[in-house]
Structure 1
């Protein structure tokens, strides 16, 4: 097999690790404490794929509380405890990364909207960090997080590839919008779980195609060897 693109850029939560329900559980608990009886479905719809720091006005509208840096730090602390105990790799991603890393070498990276500590914690716990060798990019370390394209542009620049020649693997509308805005081809991942985004929503956001099983991913980003 050979590369079909110049680089592969992976979102983390929901693509590499099965973390969204764990994180949303902690967030729901803290929003309940503020007086917002938000449901799991609503929490997933409003917060998955978006930076919590950008959702302050939304939280204020429902609670009358300004969530400052101290509140966000408390959320991250409680979130990390839960993730450290529970997070697992997405089924099939380890095998897919084995093939893709053999084909692409160092032209793969993680470009997540999450803070770096969370990315590192999750990849270390699942053992997926060995595929990326520190090529991790956080939306918290660029001017604007997803749905802005900044983190994907930063990752492509660091890998030395034009973003238009990269492929992005995403599972949220905000992430797809970010990848498309960067100029990359975007593959949407939707596995049918209650935390996953519907395929039609990913396509509407600009995903070139949507797949439901990580066993399909290597074929989508790699070409057959020439005869």
Structure 2
């Protein structure tokens, strides 16, 4: 087996862990408490794949509340409590990462737009942390998060690879845009579930391939010798 790319960079939420509905449900509950009777569909459409701190404007427009650090801290506390009791890995993600790690070794990373504490907790809860060690990168630690390429460029730099030779795995248009802007090849994951982005949308954002189940990923990322 041989590497097709210099490294494989995985998004976390919606790619490695099935967290989006859990997180979005907590957010919707808080928004409703603040006076915004937002539907499940609209909450998913507006917020999935985006850094919550960057989405302050629709929250202000619909609740009159300008979210601040205290608001975000309360949200994260409630979100993390829900994740600890409900989170599961995406079906097949553990096996896919295991297969890829056997070929790429330390040249894999988890590259997310979410806050580091959440991501590290999720990886630990699902046992995926053993594959990534300290190779976890949070877009919230940079001036610009996804769809800007900064976090992917930082991950590539840390791994010592040209980002143009990296493979990025993403499940949202925002994430695909970030990977493409970094110069990487991006494969989109579209499971067909309630929080899934359509294959067409992922391709329009720049994904060069789209797959629907994690068992398909190793063959896409690895050359048979």
TM-score, normalised to structure 2, is 0.99
Using the alignment, how far apart are the partners of 1:174 and 1:218 within structure 2? 23
Query: Which residue is equivalent to 1:41?
Result: 41
Q: Choose 179-188 or 55-64, whichever is displaced more.
A: 55-64
Unaligned runs of 5+ in 2: none
Structure 1 residue 4 displacement after superposition: 0.2
After superposition, give the CA deviation of every residue in 1:31-67 in whole Å (9 maximum; x if it has no partner).
0011111111111111011000001111111111111
Following TM superposition, where does structure 1 have runs of at least 4 consecutive aligned residues deviating by more than 3 angstroms?
none
Using the alignment, how far apart are the partners of 1:206 and 1:45 within structure 2? 19
After superposition, give the CA deviation of every residue in 1:104-152 in whole Å (9 maximum; x if it has no partner).
0000000000000000110000000001111100011112000111110
Q: State how many pairs are aligned.
A: 225
Query: Which residue is equivalent to 1:73?
Result: 73
Using the alignment, how far apart are the partners of 2:89 and 2:169 within structure 1? 15
Query: Which residue is equivalent to 1:27?
Result: 27
Structure 1 residue 197 displacement after superposition: 0.5
Unaligned runs of 5+ in 1: none
Structure 1 residue 98 displacement after superposition: 1.2
Query: Which residue is equivalent to 1:155?
Result: 155
* C-alpha RMSD over aligned residues: 0.6
Structure 1 residue 224 displacement after superposition: 1.0
Say whether 1:184 aligns with 2:184.
yes
Using the alignment, how far apart are the partners of 2:73 and 2:215 within structure 1? 36
Which secondary structure does the structure 2 equivalent of 1:143 belong to? coil
Using the alignment, how far apart are the partners of 1:145 and 1:134 within structure 2? 19
Query: Which residue is equivalent to 1:129?
Result: 129
